[in-house]
Structure 1
Amino acid sequence: MAPRAKNPVETTEPTRRSTRISAQPKSELPAKEVKKAAPRTKKRTADDGDDESPAVKKSKAKEAAAEAPDTEESNEKAAELATIDIGDALPSLTLKNEKGEDVDVATLAAEQGVIFFLVPKADTPGCTNQACGFRDIYPDFTAHNFAVYCLSADSPSAQSKWQTKKELPYPLLSDPQRTLITALGAGEGGKTKRSHFIFEEGGKLVEKKIPVKPADSPKLALEYVKSVA
């Protein structure tokens, strides 16, 4: 008796089903959304050169604007003020002192010699070193009939606070537009060069040091005063 033939349906059906399954495309999972990290904010430090809050800056700007002279008038004075060099006389220019009083610089040397020492900014380390140097030997200048004045672009109120804090015995003159500072050759790019200028009695410029180191300025000024006494 011949062996029974296999049912073709039974042998082929599984194969077809397997082929259909393998041929079906694999479902793709949705890509995960990548969250971008928020940019890190740079922390402000004292090394950035500006550690004041916007509120403090705004307050200082208002104070300076209130105390500064009329811009048009200041620009006219600056244009009229010629460069002051050795042998030239003090010009007639009115500035405010630390008390907010008007001072005509041309009258300061009428009866004595005058020393103007210039600082970039009140109550900063280098400027305080220079200012305290003039403070400590101030009697030596007055003994030789020389008055001392600190000249800067700071407001009178800022100068007054500094004067009180460091017990500075001499007046401070405010030149916010750097009119006299520029005429002396110490104003450049909106900044003040550390320096000092000596005028003899009568108002003639006889000595200047620009630039000068904070600690050297008082010593060199006194040396010159003693040499002409």
Structure 2
Amino acid sequence: MKNTSTALTRRFAVVAIGLLAALALPFAQALEVGDKAPDFTLQASDGNTYSLSQFVGKQPVVLAFFPAAFTGGCTIQCKAIRDSSDEIKSFDVAYFMASVDTAEKNTEFATEYGLDFPVLADPQKTMTADYGVLSERGFANRWTYYIDVNGVVVKIDKQTNPNTAGQDLADNMADLGFQRRTATASR
């Protein structure tokens, strides 16, 4: 009886450890500065589909994650970025906001608040997991990733303030030395 009990205890421990590892997997892969940013292909609020690979070698990318459309802090964050649009667009950079909402919900959100930048939809939560942004509750954390022209993460802001998100984004791009647009360059 002792051998059967010991075998069952070991089997239970192996299953429990495997289950815990599987549950923790999406949360254990947080990117760090210096890591190559994972590629993604996602639909956006402007009706286009974007991939990180389309910008690598051409221009830096900023990904500002937010938990959910039409919630208090997220609305403030998106409006702050919208309100800093002129300053942000003075940089030669592709910038996006991203959530785990559907493309339809993000499109409605972008339309209602007059957002002049694409909001990426990741309802399958693949990109948010790949970037280590997916919270235990199944939403994206409010983090901003700055990715250089070579596709390498050069800064991660895990203390994004919704009220100052737009000016902070522009200030960080300046501090990182992201190139300004020339008068003839277009977005």
The structure whose RCO (Cα within 8 Å, separation 6+) is larger is: 2
Which 5+ residue runs of structure 2 have no aligned equivalent?
1-24, 178-187
Structure 2 CA distance for aligned equivalents of residues 140 and 128 of structure 1: 20
Contact 1:141 1:147 in 2 (8 A): no
Cα 1:203–1:211 change in 2 (3 A) is same
1:215 to 163, 170, 173: 163
1:85-96 superposed matches below 5 A: 85-96=32-43
Which residue does the alignment assign to 1:183? Answer: 130
Cα 1:221–1:101 change in 2 (3 A) is closer
The yes-or-no answer on 1:110 pairing with 2:57 is yes
Which residue does the alignment assign to 2:4? Answer: none
1:13-162 superposed matches below 5 A: 83-162=30-109
Structure 2 CA distance for aligned equivalents of residues 195 and 93 of structure 1: 17
- State the Cα distance separating 1:172 from its structure 2 match: 1.0
TM-score (ref. length: structure 2) = 0.72
Which residue does the alignment assign to 2:151? Answer: 203
Residue identity in the other structure for 1:179: T
Contact 1:175 1:181 in 2 (8 A): yes
Structure 1 CA distance for aligned equivalents of residues 79 and 152 of structure 2: 26
CA distances 1:91-134 after superposition (whole Å, capped 9, x unpaired) = 23221212554322222343211111111101222111100111
Structure 2 CA distance for aligned equivalents of residues 137 and 106 of structure 1: 26
Structure 2 CA distance for aligned equivalents of residues 185 and 93 of structure 1: 13
Pair member with larger Rg: 1
CA distances 1:128-174 after superposition (whole Å, capped 9, x unpaired) = 11001111112212212122201000111111111111110101111
CA distances 1:7-32 after superposition (whole Å, capped 9, x unpaired) = xxxxxxxxxxxxxxxxxxxxxxxxxx
Structure 2 CA distance for aligned equivalents of residues 185 and 219 of structure 1: 24
Cα 1:180–1:202 change in 2 (3 A) is same
The range that moved more, 216-225 or 159-168, is 216-225
Residue identity in the other structure for 1:132: K
Structure 2 CA distance for aligned equivalents of residues 137 and 100 of structure 1: 23
Which residue does the alignment assign to 2:173? Answer: 225
The range that moved more, 172-181 or 106-115, is 106-115
Residue identity in the other structure for 1:223: D
CA distances 1:177-221 after superposition (whole Å, capped 9, x unpaired) = 222212222112212211111112222111111142211332322
Structure 1 CA distance for aligned equivalents of residues 152 and 54 of structure 2: 12
Contact 1:153 1:176 in 2 (8 A): yes
Contact 2:99 2:139 in 1 (8 A): no
Which 5+ residue runs of structure 1 have no aligned equivalent?
1-77
Cα 1:92–1:195 change in 2 (3 A) is closer
- State the Cα distance separating 1:83 from its structure 2 match: 4.5
SS of 2:155's partner is strand
